[in-house]
Amino acid sequence: MAGSLDRIKFAETLVESDPDEAHRIGCAVLDDEPDNALALFLIAYIYSKAELYGLAYAINKRIVQLAPHRDQAWCNLGMCLESMDRHAEARECFEQAAKRDPKNAAYPANI
């Protein structure tokens, strides 16, 4: 996992300047570890930035299954749903995020 973590951290530095390379690295990590939540998170973020919300939604949904304790995963899922005009489902996700991190002021603002 340490090698995977290093590769993901490097890929994160490329998201803005070279999202294709960041995506390639994330996919390579998933080839080795298909349930790597960090690699999935990276790829979902890239898809969201590219406004590919259906793909980002599907990946974020898997992240929530793998790491239901992660508030950011719930928030990202909610953001995808908002972008797809699925507001009631998005609200539920933001509520889940707020439950997991009640100190984060951004979550209640999304609800």
Given a cut of 70, whether residue 2 has pLDDT beyond it is no
* pLDDT band at residue 1 under the 50/70/90 scheme: low
pLDDT of residue 104: 87
Number of H helices, E strands in the chain: 7, 0
For residue range 24-52, list pLDDT tens digits in order: 999 999 999 999 999 999 999 999 999 99
Q: What pTM was computed for the model?
A: 0.89
SS3 content of the chain, % helix, strand, coil (to 5): 75, 0, 25
| CA–CA separation, 42 and 35 (whole Å) | 13
Name the helix (H) or strand (E) containing 7.
helix 2-14
Please write the tens of the pLDDT for every residue from 59-111. 999 999 999 999 999 999 999 999 999 999 999 999 999 999 999 888 777 77
